[in-house]
């Protein structure tokens, strides 16, 4: 059923007041607002109808109303409008990260920490699936004849390394040959192109060296690791500042739940711009009383990651979504400048 303009005005006003005060909103409060030129009785009737329609709820201890998840959903879809962009600390803080972080995973984690600091909410930063990332360089560093460090660099700026031990001694010539073969055979390929057949070529070219087995094992580990998303949660304790989580059992249930990474990756993984996940849209779990806002960031053709915030359903969706959108655009630029330009 289409809402009348009057109902929309009243619902928007209730949501604005409730976001600001965390107190149920009554008809007398609304009638005192100059932009709502309706009597208290008219507002009371409209509020009753909005409750019947599922957009408002009435707490047991109050005569006022609060928005329902459906009310918030209508608000973000139709009523809240857009926040005016402002120049400020977000862009400056991102710029201060420039040149300081050279690994993509670390940059995404630091960006999540920065979002939590700037918004005073819990934040979530999700790396993209890296199946299409391209191996750029291999290096094998000898510590002694049975101990080596394997270093792998990707086109997305990810640097991975591992200390390995061999079952038999390996000469300098053998390690240098294997390094050369790896760079000649596997660099320029994406992770999903490194097949058993490709590695057979490496085996034949490198010969029988004790270093081959740990290198093969490490590459298999890398394919599995980089092919999965990493999730970084920052500032979870900030949720405790909201009155919604003054109930310690409710707060602990939410904190326990969100510390499991898989619970923070939204069901819809292909985010288009900004996405809202409000209350029950998060499933039947402790997040059913919370909301998440996610913005996407891109790493060229490599993939799409997400950065977002978690808080009570009573959050300032308009301001926070606009801020998150600006932050994601700044992160896109920082990633492109740091990792993509240098690979052209």
Is 340's pLDDT higher than 70?
no
Tokens of 222: 């890398």
Burial of 225 (C-beta count, 10 Å sphere; 0-12/13-18/19+)? middle
Tokens of 80: 């809240």
Average pLDDT of the residues of the chain: 88
The topology (CATH level 3) of 89-129+230-343 is: Beta-Lactamase (3.30.450)
Task: Please tell me which residue, 267 or 337, carries the higher pLDDT value.
Answer: 337
User: Which of 51-55, 185-189, 284-288, 300-304 is predicted with the least confidence, judged by mean pLDDT?
Assistant: 300-304
Is 341's pLDDT higher than 60?
no
Is 302's pLDDT higher than 80?
no
In terms of phi and psi (left: phi > 0; alpha: psi -120 to 50; beta: otherwise), the region of 305 is: beta
Closest to 228 measured CA to CA, from 257, 198, 192, 259: 192
Q: 200 — phi, psi (to 5°)? A: -60, -35
The residue ranges of every structural domain in the chain are 5-79, 89-129+230-343, 135-226
pTM for this one? 0.80
Within the chain, strands assigned E span 56-57, 66-67, 122-126, 135-144, 147-154, 159-165, 231-234, 274-278, 290-299, 303-312
CA–CA distance, 190 with 199 (Å, rounded to integer): 13
| pLDDT value of position 303 | 73
CATH tag, 135-226 = 3.30.390
pLDDT in tens, 109-129: 999 999 999 999 999 999 887
pLDDT in tens, 41-56: 999 999 999 999 999 9
Q: In sequence order, which residues have a C-beta less than 8 Å from that of residue 11 and are 6 or more positions away?
A: 3, 50, 55, 56, 67, 71, 74, 75, 79
Which single residue is written with the structure tokens 């499991």? 260
Is 130's pLDDT higher than 80?
no
The topology (CATH level 3) of 5-79 is: Arc Repressor Mutant, subunit A (1.10.10)
**Band of pLDDT at residue 222, cut at 50, 70 and 90:** confident
**Band of pLDDT at residue 85, cut at 50, 70 and 90:** low
Mean pLDDT of the 317-344 span: 82
CA–CA distance, 244 with 330 (Å, rounded to integer): 32
Tokens of 161: 């390394």
Evaluate whether 323 touches 305 at the Cβ level (below 8 Å).
no
Is 269's pLDDT higher than 60?
no
| pLDDT value of position 299 | 74
Is 37's pLDDT higher than 90?
no
| pLDDT value of position 83 | 72
| pLDDT value of position 86 | 61
Closest to 12 measured CA to CA, from 64, 77, 59: 77
| pLDDT value of position 318 | 94
The one-character DSSP state at 198 is: H
Evaluate whether 323 touches 291 at the Cβ level (below 8 Å).
no
pLDDT in tens, 196-213: 888 889 888 988 889 999
Evaluate whether 138 touches 186 at the Cβ level (below 8 Å).
yes
Is 342's pLDDT higher than 80?
no
pLDDT in tens, 169-203: 999 999 999 999 999 999 998 888 888 888 889 88
Evaluate whether 44 touches 27 at the Cβ level (below 8 Å).
yes
Is 265's pLDDT higher than 60?
yes
| pLDDT value of position 344 | 45
């Amino acid at each position: 059923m289409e809402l009348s303009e009057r109902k929309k005005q009243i619902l928007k006003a209730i949501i604005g007041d409730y976001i600001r005060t965390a107190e149920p909103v009554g008809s007398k409060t609304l009638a005192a607002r100059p932009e709502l030129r309706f009597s208290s009785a008219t507002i009371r009737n409209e509020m009753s109808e909005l409750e019947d329609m599922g957009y408002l709820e009435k707490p047991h201890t109050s005569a006022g109303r609060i928005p329902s998840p459906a009310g918030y959903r209508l608000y973000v879809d139709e009523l809240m409008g857009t926040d005016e962009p402002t120049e400020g600390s977000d862009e400056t803080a991102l710029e201060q990260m420039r040149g300081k972080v050279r690994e993509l995973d670390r940059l995404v984690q630091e960006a999540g920490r920065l979002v939590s600091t700037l918004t005073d909410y819990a934040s979530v930063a999700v790396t993209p699936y890296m199946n299409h990332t391209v191996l750029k360089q291999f290096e094998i560093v000898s510590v002694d004849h049975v101990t080596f460090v394997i270093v792998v660099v990707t086109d997305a700026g990810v640097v991975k390394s591992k200390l390995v031990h061999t079952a038999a001694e390996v000469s300098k010539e053998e390690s240098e040959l294997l390094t050369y073969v790896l760079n000649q055979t596997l660099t320029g390929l994406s992770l999903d192109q490194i097949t058993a057949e490709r590695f057979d070529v490496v085996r034949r070219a490198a010969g029988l060296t004790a270093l081959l087995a740990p290198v093969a094992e490490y590459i298999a580990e890398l394919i599995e690791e980089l092919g999965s998303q990493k999730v970084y949660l920052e500032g979870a304790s900030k949720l405790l500042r909201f009155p919604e989580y003054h109930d310690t059992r409710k707060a602990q249930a939410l904190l326990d739940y969100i510390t499991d990474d898989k619970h923070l990756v939204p069901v819809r993984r292909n985010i288009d711009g900004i996405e809202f996940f409000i209350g029950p849209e998060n499933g039947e779990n402790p997040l059913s009383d919370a909301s998440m806002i996610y913005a996407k960031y891109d790493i060229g053709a490599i993939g799409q990651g997400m950065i977002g915030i978690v808080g009570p359903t009573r959050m300032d969706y308009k301001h926070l979504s606009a801020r998150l959108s600006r932050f994601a655009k700044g992160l896109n630029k920082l990633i492109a400048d740091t990792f993509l330009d240098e690979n052209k």
